[in-house]
Structure 1
Amino acid sequence: MTTAHIDKEWQRFTPSERIARFAIYLCLVSAIVWSWQTVEVIPEFLYDAPVQFADMFQRMVPLDFAFYPEAIHAAMVETLHIATLGTLFTLIFAIPLALLNAPNITPSKTLNWVAQFFLVSSRSVNSLVWALLFIALFGPGMLAGIMAIAIRSIGFVGKLLAEAITEVNMGPIEALKATGASSASILLKGYWPQIMPAFYSIVLFRWDINVRESAVLGLVGAGGVGVILNDAQNLFEWQKVAMVLVSIFTVVIIAEAVVIQIRNKLI
């Protein structure tokens, strides 16, 4: 009596998985083709772009270095103030929402969904749109920029902070609860030591992002160096435009280096 030997060929994906992958790829390609068809590209402008770019670059050099102490420096300091104050105001709203969104602190599903709604609403609207809304409320200037940065950052900081809270080790928390510690003591002695590195990283990273976003808020009148950039562009003063762009690039690099040094010291 003999038994039939059946050779089985190993396959990475099952037929249903291959069909699903093919369907996903087909949808992606179709979306790209459909999106490209809706983009109105004027061939004449596209072919002429290298020449126009070279002409603009020639107009930008040499840089107008005298324009920096004249107008850019004060506007750049204002930009840093907008980013810093906006980040600090963010914490006033982001921390409570993060606590409400963390199920191990707030077990109520309703409160979790309410906090999630505000966090999603915050980060779903671009900073420039928030700036336009606050300009309509407060008028053009730094206050509109600060509020735009603050409201836009709530969703980012709150979501990442809530995830950090959710992932803490519950052993120390349970031990504190067993001793009858108060809620404030549990937060300060149980949760805070575990989420402190993540908290500092999130806040510093968001401040770094806000420095970049604050630089363009002035394009819609929300203060900062963007106002100077917009005025120089409107007057076709390309040497001043180049000086503003170089200043923004330099400040962003310095801010990145500062964030790295502070993170290394605190964490």
Structure 2
Amino acid sequence: MSNTRKWVRLTPAERLGRFAFYLIAVAAFMMSVRTVEVIPEFLYDAPLQVQDLFSRMWPLDFAYYPEGLHGPLLETLHIASLGTLLAIVMALPVGLMAAENITRVPVLNWFAKLILVSSRTVNSLVWALLFVAVFGPGALAGTVAIGFRSIGFCGKMFAEALEEASEGPVEALKAAGAPWLTVFLKGYWPQVAPAFWGILLFRWDINVRESSVIGLVGAGGIGMALDTALNLFEWDRVGVVLVCIFSIVILAEILVTNIRKRII
């Protein structure tokens, strides 16, 4: 009688755990479908509605661009750029405070991480609604909203880059008696500079997209032109706005990709 052992990929406990996971996932999906209350008639009619919507947009009213979209489009780019710069200015000290190898005070680490999580948790539209209430409608509210929304992303990525830096050059500078600023500029910064510029460019690319949307709640940019055209049922102008948003997002993606290839 042979004593050969049969190889089994999963133990009984692992198979039971996988079955429980699938069962919970299916149950959660069914509960979500019931909560959303999907109406089958609307799903069946959706292709016809989409076809009707595109037929209303065509032909596109490109004559509307010079007078109605060129300024808001530039304002969108300004909101994204200034918001990103504002975010970097605010995220740098928070990122330094969140990095445990830089700031060795647990209370400050947790406080900084609380700021980073709070910034990422609140959606950009919610930030925009808040600052529209504070500053009134316009580009200022959009710029501040983009800045506060970006703190969490920029600060977290910068803190992680600092924590992954090699301690060899840092320890050598400390042993030589270098002050803290010199240790940071000569020990940490050369290692995290590529990540920093990558974070800056990547976040600007994201902010171009988000600044195109926050205008729907009055925070400036091309989103306000889109909201106006939607409210007036000017579908030919809605189509032009969507083409402009799509084009600027694609161009920003190409620009950021090329710059990152050159500097990183």
Measured against the shorter chain, the TM-score band is: over 0.9
Question: Shift in Å at residue 12 of structure 1?
Answer: 2.2
- 1:13 is displaced (CA, Å) by 2.1
- Equivalent pairs counted in the alignment come to 264
Residue 205 of structure 1 corresponds to which residue in structure 2? Answer: 202
CA separation in 2, counterparts of 1:68 and 1:128?
25
1:84 counterpart letter in structure 2: S
The residue number in structure 2 matching 1:106 is 103
| 1:63 match: secondary structure | coil
2: CA distance, partners of 1:170 / 1:15: 45
Give the drift of 1:18. Answer: 1.9
Structure-2 separation of matches of 1:149 and 1:39: 30
Tell me which amino acid in the other structure corresponds to 2:243.
V
Map of 1:265 onto structure 2: 262
> C-alpha displacement at 1:5, in angstroms?
5.4
Stretches of structure 2 that go unaligned for 5 or more consecutive residues are: none
Secondary structure (helix, strand or coil) at the match of 1:10 reads coil
Percentage of matched positions with identical amino acids: 60
Alignment partners' CA distance in 2, 1:44 and 1:35:
19
Cα offsets for 1:190-238 (capped at 9, x unmatched):
1111011111111100100000000011100000000000000111111
Amino acid at match of 2:31: W
- Unmatched 5+ stretches in structure 1: none
Alignment counterpart, residue 85 of structure 2, candidates 85, 88, 91: 88
Structure 1 CA distance for aligned equivalents of residues 81 and 150 of structure 2: 12
Is 1:50 equivalent to 2:47 in the alignment? yes
Using the alignment, how far apart are the partners of 1:72 and 1:211 within structure 2? 16
Give distance in 2, aligned partners of 1:146 and 1:134: 9
Distance in 1 between residues matched to 2:217 and 2:165, nearest whole Å: 42
> Which position in structure 2 is the counterpart of 1:35?
32
2:12 to 12, 15, 33: 15
Rounded to whole Å, the distance in 1 between the matches of 2:170 and 2:56 is 63
Supply the AA of the counterpart residue of 2:226: L
- Residue of structure 1 equivalent to 2:248: 251
Match of 1:119 among 105, 116, 120: 116
1:179 CA drift (Å) = 0.6
Residue 230 of structure 1: aligned partner:
227
Deviation at 1:17, TM superposition (A): 1.9
Is 1:219 equivalent to 2:216 in the alignment? yes
Counterpart mapping for 1:46-195 below 5 A: 46-195=43-192
1:41-91 per-residue CA deviation (whole Å, 9 max, x = no partner) reads 223222211111111111111111111111111100000000000000001
Where 2:141 maps in the other structure, the secondary structure is helix
What code does the residue aligned with 2:175 have?
Answer: A
Q: What amino acid does structure 1 have at the position aligned with 2:210? A: E
Moved more, 7-16 or 197-206: 7-16
Please give the alpha-carbon distance, in whole angstroms, between the structure 2 residues aligned to 1:147 and 1:209: 15
